[in-house]
Structure 1
């Protein structure tokens, strides 16, 4: 199913992981942007307000890690889809921003693909999401 017009931002300091995720999401039909750290991600988001989902690693260099980035993004855009990942840090659910999903590394590409699709669907049908959260 083509997802034209839906943009996903991949934030990871490992170029091969970014490329792997970009290839997956591109094959799923999404427009994909990337950033190597939170600072770059914030710059990309400032210039591309149509980003629907951000997929970020936790451990990255720069002024903040991916979990901190996710909290900043949730504060400025409550409807933005957030996927947080790590191979070394496994935060408790209570440390994640509301509505964010966590995935351990190595990635299960099928789960990532489904999560992105579901987060975008939640944005399209917020009334149904609100009913299911009650």
Structure 2
């Protein structure tokens, strides 16, 4: 399964990619929404999206989620953020499967959240 990790923090991106690769996932990374959008444009390139909400550039994480929903309906998505207040209000209209991962997170929590997203549906 191919996962796209989108985060402008290089350390988070690299650590998550290394960990998930070790679990057997095929991992792509992007430092911003524009780079992620190009990867989402390629047919069958990405099966799961793991994105930060706050991204540099013209396309933030919320916009990227909306774009992914249009391009790959039903794609499991995990949204990461250090800011949880108010964020879920903006994303509340998005359909499952959608999960939220609060930063900072442990790699074990990342693995668990991702597995639940892939297994089906949004968190209760």
What's the TM-score once normalised by structure 1's chain length?
0.78
Range with bigger deviation, 35-44 or 112-121: 112-121
Alpha-carbon offset, residue 48 of structure 1: 5.5
Report what 2:100 is aligned to: 102
Q: Which of 9, 15, 40 does residue 10 from structure 2 map onto? A: 15
Report what 2:19 is aligned to: 24
Counterpart Cα distance in 2 of 1:61 and 1:89: 18
Structure 2 gap segments, 5+ residues each: none
Structure 1 gap segments, 5+ residues each: 1-5, 123-128
1:111/1:48 CA distance change after superposition, 3 Å = farther
Runs of 4+ in 1 over 3 A off after TM superposition: none
Q: Is the 8 A contact 2:33 2:57 kept in 1?
A: yes
Matched, 1:118 2:113: no
Alpha-carbon offset, residue 68 of structure 1: 1.4
Tell me which structure has the larger Cα radius of gyration.
1
Q: How many residues align?
A: 119
Q: Which has the higher helix share?
A: 1
1:94/1:62 CA distance change after superposition, 3 Å = closer
Q: Is the 8 A contact 1:58 1:89 kept in 2?
A: no
Alpha-carbon offset, residue 72 of structure 1: 1.5
Counterpart Cα distance in 2 of 1:60 and 1:92: 16
What's the TM-score once normalised by structure 2's chain length?
0.84
Alpha-carbon offset, residue 8 of structure 1: 0.4
CA offsets 1:89-120 (integer angstroms, 9 cap, x no match) = 54125624211111110013222112222333
CA offsets 1:16-67 (integer angstroms, 9 cap, x no match) = 1100110111111100000011110011122352411110001111112111
The CA RMSD over aligned residues, in Å, is 2.0
